[in-house]
Chain A
Amino acid sequence: MAQIVIDGKQITTESNQTIIQAALQNGIEIPHFCWHPELSVAGNCRMCLVEIGNQKKSPTGALEFNESGEPVVQWFPKLQIACATPATEGMFVNTHTKKVVDSQESVMEFLLINHPLDCPICDEAGECKLQEYAFDHSKGESRFIETKNHKPKHVEWGPNVMYDAERCISCSRCIRYAKEIAKQDVLTFVNRGDKVTIELFEDTKFDNPYSMNVVELCPVGALTSIDFRFKSRVWEMSFTESICTGCSRGCNIKIGVRNNKVLRVQPSTNMYVNKYWLCDYGRLSQYPKLNDNRIINNQIRIDGELKDSTFDVAKQFALENLKQFKSNEILLVGSPNSTNEDLFALQKFAKTVVKSSHIEIFKNIDDSFGDDFLKTNDKSPNSKGAEVLGFTFTDSANISKIKATIYTKHIKCAIIMNEDLQNQSDLISTLSKLDFIVVLASNHNAISKLANVVFSLSTYAETDGSFTNVDGRVQHFTAALVTKENLHRMGMKMSRWDKFGAHNDHWTQKDERDAKPGWKILQHLANGMSGNWNYKKAEDVFNEIAEQVKPFNKMTYENMQKHQGLKLEKGNNPDPVLINYVSHYKKPD
């Protein structure tokens, strides 16, 4: 605890805070490149130099004040770096005086001497810290007329990270990240002065499971991701906050979309879950789920062949056939990949409409996947949610029981939602013995090929919903992609292409997915049978969950967004809203 004054503003710091941390918590931004709250302090960029002083004391030890009663401050003759100077009692800090501004401009001029200024072909442009500061803290003109240094370009550090030494400003964030967070200490500075560059140790690759975080960490375009290399300029895309579905950690992500295609997945800061990081698997596994092999239309099987049809026809076809079966002849299969809303709807459908007791849900465990950082062995995003909503996971003993009931024709029909049964391949072959299979799926898979009716299901990026992560944190996400269902919905993030597209523009010509969220498809089926459901949006379903399921009590979408998720049982006692550190901003945002 210390009382300090920054730019005339009285601030109470927490113990052991540096000036830059205290300033950040009080909304004062001190320009910096190398400092990052999760990394050790390097203090080598010199961008955060500030003027520091103490109040003058008389020989008797009393504090001196001038005639108007203001403290007389004795400033240190040289500027100090705010990132490494601890805030101590009675400290005075100036971040905007001429001396400080001059030093910032000089630092920027030095950094830009050997920077290639190839922003037009740099992937970082539009979200570059150096670009931002060149605009805010630089004179805007260079006095350097000599030739710039040339260094190696497009060096592949690993399978996912590309290094461009010319653009590097030697902040050492990546070196410290590799050592401290990724625990793969393979990077180091070589050479000196303006020849300094970063290299890998001999015979090593920067290929740890968290390697791609350096791309966001890098304040300039020296490190770019290979998966997004030259795909699009960032200002042409819309970025929507969402949740990673790679495992049950529920890391917060940003989904970058252009022309209704996901081009980029990046971590989003949530200090309660993933902090600033995301694993490479999480990023790279989202693209195939969201972009490729999608079921665009609803399908029905006529004369042994699956044919595209409209939703209404598929619904009628499904309803007519479902009527032939008795309650307990219908098997319902859910999935921990579904949202809380979809799972709740499935359960309600099973209990009140079909009245079947055969409801199964399978875990997707990979014991080699998890680690002690972010990844968990459970590779589904919502297993916890399924558990809390009252599902019991089916164990291997039960699988043979299900198979037996299918063989003995006690179960004749199945409704399978968002489950590809990849780990239960022997069950897939048994399913073909069924008389009628309704599948709700977003990607073509082995199950959708067996189906009699396929309903096109929205992925998590095409609908609103919530996932409950492994620690019981319920997190809300909104739609990033458009389908026929949410085509003209208010509030979706849109790029300027989306905003101003006309029907004859090429960029508006994308396949329109006739996908619906699971709860909506089930509502249509329920209302066609005996139910009387009346949900208009995902929020209505969630509000019912919050009413009926005790751990979800008092939770609302609004609160979940405000507090970056709510813990189960703590709907009315949320974690405090934190000021999240943002290294560099995306423009326009």
Chain B
Amino acid sequence: MNITKNTASDRLSFWEKLYLPEIAKGMALTFKTMFEPKFTRSYPEEKMTPSPSFRGRPVLVVEETGGRCVACGLCSRVCPALAIEVRPGPIDAEKERMPKVFEINMLRCIFCGFCEEVCPEEAIVMSKDYELVFTSPEDAILPKDKLTVPIAQLQDRLEWLRQYR
């Protein structure tokens, strides 16, 4: 037996079958939205500024007196993806040691923030940097000089950590 009920024309009401009122409704929504404020952004011309709780690229904090990191290797140990490699070296200062090699492989990093959590010196923090594009796997391994960020740029993250950690 052929099914003759519930075809397209059965489902539409009389006014809907007329089309024109529906087009008018649609246009009304279009014009209304046109004059409302936009919630999309024309990236990359306009960039997002994340909140302090955002976990972007992990970076090393540098104070005026030098880097905070003492190369204890706890971030490297806790990193579930083995993204961080630290090789320590001695220095002539009260801290006694600093990283000779500090590398984060951004292809391995999963932005979990464990490194920040475990750091006894608050030396590695998650920054707001989310634009991580590399043209080769080699470029994705960031050496120490690409990881260091002056403390002034990280104030709100450090403040957030002090409050919520």
Contacts and interface: CB of A to CB of B under 8 A. Distances in A.
Interface of A: 120-121, 153-154, 229-233, 235-236, 496-497, 500, 504-507
Contacts of B96: 121, 153-154, 230
A134 to B, nearest CB: 16
Contact of A231 (B77, B82, B88, B105): B88
B17 interface: no
B21 interface: no
A236 B76 contact: yes
B95 interface: yes
Nearest to A117: B120
Interface string B94-137: 01110000010101000000000000110000000000000001
Contacts of B107: 504
20 contacts: A120-B72, A120-B74, A120-B120, A121-B72, A121-B97, A230-B71, A230-B90, A232-B87, A233-B72, A233-B73, A236-B73, A236-B76, A236-B77, A497-B85, A504-B107, A504-B138, A505-B82, A505-B85, A506-B85, A506-B141
B26 interface: no
Given A120-B120, A233-B73, A505 B105 contact: yes
Contacts of A497: 82, 85
Nearest to B103: A506
Interface residues of B, number: 24
B61 interface: no
Contacts of B89: 230
Nearest to A233: B73
A162 to B, nearest CB: 10
Contact of A496 (B74, B82, B105): B82
Interface of B: 70-74, 76-77, 82, 85, 87-90, 95-97, 103, 105, 107, 120-121, 137-138, 141
A507 B121 CA distance: 25
Which of A153, A230, A236: most chain B Cβ within 10 A?
Answer: A230
Given A121-B71, A230-B90, 19 more contacts: A120-B72, A120-B121, A121-B70, A121-B95, A121-B96, A153-B96, A232-B88, A233-B72, A236-B77, A496-B82, A504-B107, A504-B137, A504-B138, A505-B82, A505-B85, A505-B141, A506-B85, A506-B105, A506-B141
A121 B96 CA distance: 8
Contacts of A121: 70-72, 95-97
A153 B96 CA distance: 10
A497 to B, nearest CB: 7
A235 B77 contact: yes
B82 A500 contact: yes
Nearest to B74: A120
A229 B105 CA distance: 26
A153 B120 CA distance: 20
A285 to B, nearest CB: 23
A120 B70 contact: yes
Nearest to A259: B87
A212 to B, nearest CB: 18
A232 B89 CA distance: 9
Contacts of B76: 236
